[in-house]
Structure 1
Amino acid sequence: MNQLQALLNDSLIRTKHVENAAVINVKERKVCASTFGFNVPPENALNLIDTFHKNLPQVRKGGLYFKEKYYKCVRADEHSIYLKNVHGGLIVAKTKTFILVATYGVGMYPSVCVEAVEKLADYFREKGS
């Protein structure tokens, strides 16, 4: 387990309100860490990167497909995107170097997932990443 995987497990999965998580390196345009069993297809990673750079208004209006599931946009700005569907939700946060992706499922509290993801994103921002 690399350091980023450990961070995902310690700061997100241990909350019990994050189902899966991944870190995408913006410059390398690929996933550099994910929780056990969570595979983010390359096209989904690229789509999230592009969303922050040019598709934010479109996502606000029309939502987003991630891993073949449709998510309705709840909030979207230059730092974060919050999406949901009937089975849970998707929280995405952007830092200088990374895009954090986390999912939550039925029975999990979206607010706890959001807080955990934003806290980890703030940690990376403070470190200049």
Structure 2
Amino acid sequence: MFMERDKGEDVIPEHPDLKWLDSTLPDRVKMNQLQNLLHDALIATGHVENCAIVRRKDISLRASSAGFTLSGDEMQKLIDAFKDPPRTRQEGLYFHDKLYKCVRADKNSIYAKCDKVGMVLVKTATLVIMGTYSDNMYSSVCVEAIEKLASYFIEKSK
């Protein structure tokens, strides 16, 4: 039996680990809190396989799901994909040595697929939030979760 959700109910509830947004905590503490947030808001949906938050200004990994890593080159390519969305849409996006065909590419969001797997990228003022999904997951739920998390950061000017 599954619980019904009110249409107005926020997918991302007020999370106790979000106090870092307005604090001066050390980076290692912030990263742990961000990792908890990624798990609770994205991985826990069951439709996001891996995810990460990349800070755009210095191309640094702020947090990622357990066991998921991104190289500096991969992070740079994800950030660069937003610089020319029509080109990204036309040429696709290489990630983990695979070419992903873009389903959507605009100044704020990029959705891409490779066979039965895909990825979602959303840009905020300072971050890129990315997530992947596999063939047994619903892409629409992955998109909704990542877009909602990005909206939260946008509201906080992050």
TM class, shorter-chain normalised? over 0.9
Under a length normalisation based on structure 2, what TM-score does the superposition of the two structures give?
Answer: 0.78
Does residue 125 of structure 1 match 2:154?
A: yes
Superposed, 1:88-107 pairs within 5 Å as: 88-107=117-136
**Root mean square deviation, CA, Å:** 1.0
What corresponds to 1:58 in structure 2? 87
Does residue 74 of structure 1 match 2:103?
A: yes
- Among 16, 29, 41, the alignment partner of 1:11 is 41
> Structure 1 stretches of 5 or more lacking a match?
none
Q: Which consecutive segments of 4 or more residues in structure 1 shift more than 2 A?
A: none
Does residue 86 of structure 1 match 2:115?
A: yes
> Structure 2 stretches of 5 or more lacking a match?
1-30
Deviation track 1:82-127 (CA, whole Å, cap 9, x = no partner) reads 0011131010000001100100001100000000000000000000
Larger strand fraction of residues:
1
**Structure with max Cα Rg:** 2
Local SS of the residue matching 1:2: helix
Identical aligned pairs, as a percentage?
51
Judge conservation of contact 2:81–2:93 (CA < 8 Å) in 1: no
What corresponds to 1:22 in structure 2? 52
